[in-house]
Amino acid sequence: MIEIKNLKKKYSADFTLNIENLKIKTGERVALIGANGSGKSTLLKLISGYIKPDSGEILINTEKMAYLPQDPYIFSMSVRKNVRIGLKDNKKQEENLKEILIMTGLFNLLDKNAAKLSGGEKQRMVFARMLIDKHNLLMLDEPFGAIDIDFKDSLEQILSDYCIANKTTLIMATHTPAEAFNLCDKLIIMHKGEVIEYGQCGDIIKNPKTDFGKTFLKQWRITDV
């Protein structure tokens, strides 16, 4: 369970993230949508603890969590070492490593220097790096941006299976409607640092409460609005 109360964080000259109250239950999968600069990334950084709020609090009742930034760092070492870099006990996860690398189509590149991978391969590798361990909460900031079209569907499926198997709560910022609806059951629409819509995907699509919500969903070409 994640509970946010009176959260405030100034994230640009013009905008302050301002969330009075937001609850995300364990095992829920939530898509964060909104225009560029609406505060999606800032919210993920705050929940992950990477940045501190100016005021307010975030209560997280979860043991293990991981946050995947929009532009993650690729270490100048082999794919194998990159994928295992976050593990505390390297030996334990050898079987997981093989499995995750096969799933992400990286097994043949195991010993290649990760810095020399293509953009799509790097993105798959950071997915593998995150999914090799079991997490109760995943926060992903536009995770499918550079993924090759051939791998996108299978990675979505891997992520979905992972969340179901581990009862993982997922919060994912995205600009793509298909990603949001394929992976998430709830939707948050953000605008100028505020949560303006929050609920089940179907409910928000059928009945957005705000004018901005309607306009935004139209831009997304969601015809139910």
Partner 1 sequence: MTEYIKEAFSLLISGNSELWGIIKVTLQMSFFSTVISSFLGLPLGTVIGRTEFKGKGLILRITNTLMGLPPVVAGLVVFLTLSRSGPLGSLQLLFSVAAMVIAQVVLITPLMTGMSASASSEKAPKLRETASGLRMGKTKEIILLMLECRPQFVSIILLGFGRAIAEVGAVSLVGGNIQFKTRVMTTAIMLETNKGNFRFAVALGIVLLAISFIVNSIAYTAGEKRK
User: Footprint of partner 1 on this chain (CB under 8 A)?
Assistant: 45, 48-50, 64-69, 71-73, 75-76, 85-86, 129-130, 139
Residues 93 and 132 sit within 8 Å (Cβ to Cβ)? yes
Residues 6+ apart with CB under 8 A from 218: 225
Q: C-beta of 65: minimal distance to partner 1 in Å?
A: 7
Q: Output the CA angle 198-176-72, nearest 5 degrees.
A: 100
CB closer to partner 1 out of 31 and 114? 114
Q: C-beta of 124: minimal distance to partner 1 in Å?
A: 16
Q: C-beta of 83: minimal distance to partner 1 in Å?
A: 11
Q: C-beta of 86: minimal distance to partner 1 in Å?
A: 3
Residues 6+ apart with CB under 8 A from 191: 34, 35, 38, 212, 216
CB closer to partner 1 out of 52 and 221? 52
DSSP E strand stretches across the chain: 2-10, 16-24, 29-34, 55-60, 65-68, 137-141, 169-173, 186-191, 194-200
CB closer to partner 1 out of 141 and 197? 141
Q: C-beta of 71: minimal distance to partner 1 in Å?
A: 6
Amino acid 187 reads L
**Residues 189, 178: Cα–Cα separation, whole Å:** 15
CB closer to partner 1 out of 73 and 91? 73
CB closer to partner 1 out of 113 and 176? 113
